Structure 1
Amino acid sequence: MSTLHDELAELQSSAAHHFSHTTLARDVTSVRRRVRRDRGVTYAIGTLAVAGLGGGTVYASMLGAGGTQLAPADASPSTSASASLDAVATPSSAPIEDDGSPTLALDAEVTVYAGDRLATVAALLGQAFDVSPAVAAQALHQAAPGDDAEGWIDPAGYQLPAGTSLTEAATLMVGSRASDLERLGVSDEDSNEVLTLASIIEVETTTHDPQDMAVISAVLSNRIEMDMQLQLDSTVLYAVESDGPFTTDSERAVDSPYNTYLYAGLPPGPIATPSDEAIEAALHPADSEYLYYVTTNRATGAIQFAETYDEHVENVMRLQEWLQENGESIP
């Protein structure tokens, strides 16, 4: 069985001839920068925070999860995170040949933010190369180990010189992530689980504080160890291709392996692009007994954690007060 590194080596070898003749091949180290979406003024109410509060009616009347995602002031993604997954979720069986890969006529920049879904990245990459999101997604899928690029794209600003091919751009985006995982000591066999957990941590941590990420990682790990369902709205929102921020009774009843209300443990794969901080949190959860969390202030993203159900209910009441004071309502 080939390893992640074997697959990347083969991919890099097959593309080496074309890649070596591009400006991108010479300048790659100077054009990458880590970027993260500033969502401090938005929210993703901790989805498993209300696990155990009762039936869906009680849940829907009190809390939701997920989060509207806004670009930082210095970047304006040209498509929203709600870009349809229909054209990008399933890799195409038709291979993309380097000789036929679209190339850039002019320099372009594609910025991938932590928390972006593959659908968003494919739309941005497709726009840069003047191809459909499906064609861009196909290139990304084929560059990724296991032929599924969700979670495998490194969040960064990619400045792509004229002459760069779509295959080369996809190889760069995925290769950067693989390099990160190797640096962090993630083995090939553990990569999918780590990226899946990290992607959830990324979406669930409204503050984007590494310490909060580590605690949320601990909450998820604690629940898995105790055979408690994760009950994450973020995974349901991924399954139904919605940004949320809230899920409905019918959405939480959708039969999908990403529905953590119906299926125990982690979903089968990542739900977004995690940052390095989220991957670190997945690898090194905090030493904590917490089992619940909830975002109690949607303006700041402040998160409250709890070990017991009663403590958690008190935190939920804080959120209810905030909602009332700010004229917010749950659909």
Structure 2
Amino acid sequence: MHEFEKHPDLPPPTSQMGVVGWLRKNLFSSIPNSIMTVIALYLLYLTIPAMVEWALINADWVGSSREACSSDGACWVFIYARINQFLYGFYPVEEQWRVNLGAAIFVVSLLLLVIRGVPGKAWIGGFTLLIFPVIAFFLFSGGIFGLEKISTSNWGGLMLTLILSTVGIVAALPFGILLALGRRSDMPIVRALCVSYIELWRGVPLITVLFMASVMLPLFLPSGVNFDKLLRALVGIALFQSAYVAEVVRGGLQAIAKGQSEAAASLGLNYRKTMALIVLPQALKVVIPGLVVTFIELFKDTTLVSIISLFDLLGIVQSALTDPSWLGFAIEGYVFAGLLYWVFCFGMSRYSMHLERRFETGHKGS
């Protein structure tokens, strides 16, 4: 028998691997794609150098007045001089340590929840969801333990944006899950109520909800009864967003095979345990991308609170642009606000991809 000499496998061709392979696959896979790539590269060549020159090379960075902006580039002095207002609104400067302390506690709690291997995650989660909001409220508003009373009308900037979006997300998620379960309920009255609620709130824009909560709601309250404007906005946002969360979760519930519930029933599990232990964990993993999209939309939709005179990040930037001392620097203000929104939205998007890979949902992350 003829003996064949074994040779080691040859490496794949250069055109199919590494940088060259990636370029062929993603940018030059066909003649139309190659033409579009060349056009895009030419547009980037025209715009990026000019943007870098304006934003970085010729920019003015430090100062206290517009006189410090003497070049033809961006005047980041405007951002530098107004940074406290953009971050904290009209919160007193000498009391801003309270906001920083609350933010630090929240960030540490989230890190402990996110980092794998940290013991006591159930206790940390309970603290973050139940105890921290109470601590943050009294820490920010004051009036106890010798803290100066700070009206919510002074809250603004990035601080207010994060409060609105975080509270809206945390409050809307459990309520939306209950609505999704109710819409799939076998009880006609419960199902009809949940369907009516979801369709009602999804049929009106958020700006209308905020307007009703701020302007119209006080007209229906008894004389002398009034709720804080920020609280009304938070309730309106949570109720509105829960309807969208419910539809996302319902899609995940429908994606779970009926055999899962039947298998749970054969093991003697009741409806509550079946949903809590079998169906919901799988459904929530499936809808991670949809939930993150919903949360990102809520984070950006908080800009609508300016209609009820609450100055979030974008609102505080727009108000600063009307200052006669800083007229003409709208581009810098909007670029700064847009960059902050992008950082938070991009962070949520990347973390959702991490969760998909961690839970092995089968979705391909990029």
Q: TM class, shorter-chain normalised? A: under 0.3
From the two aligned structures, give the one with the greater helix fraction.
2
Q: Which has the higher contact order (CA 8 A, sep 6+)?
A: 1
Answer with 1 or 2: which has the greater Rg: 2
Q: What's the TM-score once normalised by structure 2's chain length?
A: 0.24
